Structure 1
Amino acid sequence: MKNTFKRTAISLCLAASLPTLAFADNRHESEETLYTLSNAAVQNEVLAFQRADDGRMEAIGSYATGGVGTGRGLGNQGALALSENKRFLLAVNAGSNDVSVFRIERDGLKLVDRTAEQGLTPVSVTVSHNRAYVVNSGDDSIFGFEFNPATGKLKPLPKSYRKLSAQGSGPAQISFDRDADALVVTEKATNKITSFSLTEQGLPESRHVVDSSGTTPFGFSFGRRGQFFVAEAQGGAVNGATVSSYQLEEDGSAHLIDGAIAVGQTAACWLVTTPNGRIAFTADTPASAISSFAIDRTGHLSLLNSKAAEEIRPTDLAMATDGSVLYTLSGGDHSIGLYSINKSGALKKLESLDSLPAGVTGLVVR
């Protein structure tokens, strides 16, 4: 398929515009804090939520990025990213072509930087060590920054601008591998996975392009041993969604391990893995389903449960740092769901926080 893709699949994975959200005044010490991004075209904001000691979720604040979003779905995964030391939160401003950085403080977030980039319409950001990169849907490119893990400051990285495989590629996500010596990008429109090896200076070197095993590759997550796992919306075909696994080689190229493995649902768009790399979950928007897969040591996949949980049109996922809780972002009823994960990958609903604005994008947990 040349530079087009089935818009049906993408629209199934997008969210709408935003109303106002009220926040709780009282705060509790909690196990974890969640962040999502409003992507509002007037004023982009990070929205923060805490899980209190009694297990309940509550909204605790909204923090302006200084930039603007687009006011519509971005067709992405990874609009927010945490630094490795968990002290800073990075957010894309898709409407103003820049990236904001917040320092995470005891009483909330403090904006410490906002830096423009060379590309157009950043939709996903990744950070590792002293480098950060965005992928841009407006001009099919990636762009990098030097990142100071002590201050949170960003500095554009000269000669880091690179093009993806083709014009109109429809990028969904960018991510460093675990060793931070390569970048991977999924391209929804071209049905390609593009990867870049990086020099010691953090600059993209060789570009590698491989055909996606399933069409409309969307969100992905790295597991162990250089393996990564990709959700494939398959053009929105009814019950056509798949998941595939890939091996990232030392030269930055990728090859297929396993796929495309049927999910048994429609339009799997978002994917996360447990920290031990043994289980993957997908969010299947039109099916209102969370699906689960087992991952063996070699990276091969087997379906555990086509509908491990039911959420109304889920639009993102996040994993607790210890792998015990799965968080879901649902565009259908504007909620965040919490599920405990047992050793077999089964999910049990713990809590739900309603009254989120429509159109939020990105979900990370600290």
Structure 2
Amino acid sequence: MSKSSSRRVVRTALAAAALVPFAAVFAGGTASAAPASDWTRPGSVFVGTNHNNSSDPSEPGNQIAYYHRGSDGKLTLVGKFATGGQGSGPGQRFAGDGLGSGNSVRLTADHRFLLVTNAGSNTLSVLRILPDRLQVVDVVPTGDGSSSQRFPNSVTQHGNVVYVLNASGQGSITGFRLGLDGRLTPIAGSTRQLQAAQDRFAPDALKDPTQVAFSPDGHHLVVSIKDGPTNAVIPGADPTGPGRVLTFSVDSAGRASKDFVRTDFDNRGPFGFSFDKAGNVDLAEFVGGGVEDGHPTGAAGSYRLGRDGHLTPISTAVADHQIDTCWVVNNGEYAFGSNYTSGTISSWKVGKDGSLTLLHEVAGTTDKSANTQGSTPLDLGVSPDGHYLYNVLPGSGKLAAWKIGATGELTKIGEFGGLPQTVNGDHAPSDFSALGSPAGIDVI
């Protein structure tokens, strides 16, 4: 046997061994849990309620809505489980988007734990995943409470290293070591400021730092900052910068570099992003499509991440002619973007070279909501097998599901309740009001 073959065998054996405790937990579930066979394949969806009860203790704090996922993609709500922290509640700019972020809820790579940001209490929670419930393992502060170390709204993990994004003030990222027991230990000297220049608290979802994510190889941390469109696009927007993506290198100790590589986006509003199977960045540019009929429209772009942290454009601002394209995910062959104001899903073909080609301006639609602002599609999640797409709908208090066809076509499965419906009218009565504003999703 060759050395490379031996290494593959060892890696496979280690991966299988790492999954044994997790599989054993699920196989020994109670009568209310899914059958043991369901846990041999992807079968769950997790969504943050982003609820806040600081001004009304009769309301819940932040929670996770936990769904079992059937082989047909349909969802059954298991329950809602407290994170041990506070969400932001609905936002004053956009009631349906209190966080203005992507990846506020993330599964660990071994699927044993769920990482959840609590923007209203400046903490990060770790929840253990059990067949019929979620169990809080740890809740840690994401900074020292200073203006630039508050309002965590995105989290990422690679190996035993976790980084969280704080979106207020100048913004910051900070790292933790994740133990086998799910507990977090701060990595000394890992906090890095972002020069985000946010001028209010809670941060304005039109402008704030949006997402942090490890590159697939774990060598870089990528951070998007919207900054906001120019006044010519949205009068009075007063952007805090040109729209930026910052790239940090990560050393063997898990510390982000003190310096970052900065890529500017000409105020196209870089928002949520995902990596394709080649490691390219697929990025939502929520005002990247230009102004049409008096409305700024969205787009998606793709960028090659170099070893030095530089982003090289592959496809720039591929317009979808929808309003507020804020989140983009992909299944390796196709990319999908959710359009907050239009209430739709757009799709692109992902080329072998990482290029994006618009497939459908409207690939999927959401049901009409009783809220005047509509369903307000937010974060997206794709099942690990690439066959199903899920979309958080704060304006409806639901979770939409589609089956992804072999040619990228979307077939609606349905919309499933269990989430709080955000306030009617797209402006919250106050910051951190005692209401829900669902945000964040991950899928297994």
Does 2:116 match 1:61?
A: no
Cα distance in 1 between the residues matched to 2:162 and 2:321: 36
By how many angstroms is 1:279 displaced? 0.9
Does 2:48 match 1:37?
A: yes
When you count helix as a share of all residues, which structure comes out higher?
A: 2
Does 2:300 match 1:282?
A: no
By how many angstroms is 1:106 displaced? 2.2
Asked if the contact 2:335–2:349 (Cα under 8 Å) also holds between the matched residues in 1, the reply is yes
Spell out, residue by residue over 1:324-358, the C-alpha distance to the aligned partner (whole angstroms, 9 max, x if none). Answer: 00111112322111111111100001122135212
Asked if the contact 1:28–1:52 (Cα under 8 Å) also holds between the matched residues in 2, the reply is no
Spell out, residue by residue over 1:273-304, the C-alpha distance to the aligned partner (whole angstroms, 9 max, x if none). Answer: 10xx2211000011111000011121111000
Secondary structure of 1:361's match?
coil
Cα distance in 2 between the residues matched to 1:327 and 1:69: 21
By how many angstroms is 1:70 displaced? 1.6
Correspondences of 1:10-29 after superposition (within 5 Å): 28-29=34-35
Secondary structure of 1:323's match?
coil
Does 2:255 match 1:203?
A: yes
Does 2:116 match 1:91?
A: yes
By how many angstroms is 1:229 displaced? 0.7
Secondary structure of 2:51's match?
coil
Asked if the contact 2:196–2:225 (Cα under 8 Å) also holds between the matched residues in 1, the reply is no
- The aligned residue for residue 419 of structure 2 is 356
- The aligned residue for residue 212 of structure 1 is 265
Secondary structure of 2:347's match?
strand
Spell out, residue by residue over 1:176-197, the C-alpha distance to the aligned partner (whole angstroms, 9 max, x if none). Answer: 0001110001101130111101
By how many angstroms is 1:55 displaced? 5.2
What 5-or-longer segments of structure 1 have no aligned partner?
Answer: 1-24
Cα distance in 1 between the residues matched to 2:247 and 2:411: 36
Cα distance in 2 between the residues matched to 1:46 and 1:261: 34
- Greater Rg by CA: 2
Does 2:157 match 1:127?
A: yes
Asked if the contact 1:213–1:244 (Cα under 8 Å) also holds between the matched residues in 2, the reply is no
Does 2:100 match 1:46?
A: no
- The aligned residue for residue 8 of structure 1 is none
Correspondences of 1:56-205 after superposition (within 5 Å): 56-72=74-90, 73-118=98-143, 119-139=149-169, 140-148=171-179, 150-168=180-198, 170-189=208-227, 190=241, 191-205=243-257
Asked if the contact 1:77–1:362 (Cα under 8 Å) also holds between the matched residues in 2, the reply is yes
Secondary structure of 1:271's match?
strand
Asked if the contact 2:196–2:209 (Cα under 8 Å) also holds between the matched residues in 1, the reply is no
Cα distance in 1 between the residues matched to 2:69 and 2:142: 34
- The aligned residue for residue 365 of structure 1 is 443
Correspondences of 1:201-280 after superposition (within 5 Å): 201-205=253-257, 206-212=259-265, 215-234=268-287, 237=291, 238=295, 240-274=297-331, 277-280=332-335
By how many angstroms is 1:26 displaced? 5.5
- The aligned residue for residue 354 of structure 2 is 299
Cα distance in 2 between the residues matched to 1:82 and 1:355: 20
Cα distance in 2 between the residues matched to 1:164 and 1:342: 40
By how many angstroms is 1:170 displaced? 1.1
Range that drifts further, 237-246 or 259-268: 237-246
Is the alpha carbon distance of 1:202 and 1:356 closer, same or farther for their aligned partners in structure 2, counting shifts above 3 Å? same
Aligned residues: 339
Cα distance in 2 between the residues matched to 1:339 and 1:56: 9
Spell out, residue by residue over 1:92-142, the C-alpha distance to the aligned partner (whole angstroms, 9 max, x if none). Answer: 011111110011122221111111121211000011101001111113111
Asked if the contact 1:213–1:256 (Cα under 8 Å) also holds between the matched residues in 2, the reply is no
Cα distance in 2 between the residues matched to 1:105 and 1:137: 31
Spell out, residue by residue over 1:197-221, the C-alpha distance to the aligned partner (whole angstroms, 9 max, x if none). Answer: 1111111113111112661111100
What code does the residue aligned with 2:51 have? Answer: A
Cα distance in 2 between the residues matched to 1:271 and 1:143: 24
Spell out, residue by residue over 1:150-199, the C-alpha distance to the aligned partner (whole angstroms, 9 max, x if none). Answer: 21110011111111143226111110000111000110113011110111
Asked if the contact 1:90–1:101 (Cα under 8 Å) also holds between the matched residues in 2, the reply is yes
What code does the residue aligned with 1:196 have? Answer: F
By how many angstroms is 1:67 displaced? 1.2
- The aligned residue for residue 16 of structure 1 is none
Is the alpha carbon distance of 1:163 and 1:55 closer, same or farther for their aligned partners in structure 2, counting shifts above 3 Å? closer
Range that drifts further, 354-363 or 95-104: 354-363
Secondary structure of 1:95's match?
coil
Runs of 4+ in structure 1 off by over 6 angstroms are none
What code does the residue aligned with 1:171 have? Answer: P
Asked if the contact 2:393–2:438 (Cα under 8 Å) also holds between the matched residues in 1, the reply is no
What code does the residue aligned with 2:48 have? Answer: L
What 5-or-longer segments of structure 2 have no aligned partner?
Answer: 1-30, 54-60, 91-97, 144-148, 199-206, 228-240, 367-374, 422-436
Aligned CA RMSD, in angstroms, stands at: 1.8
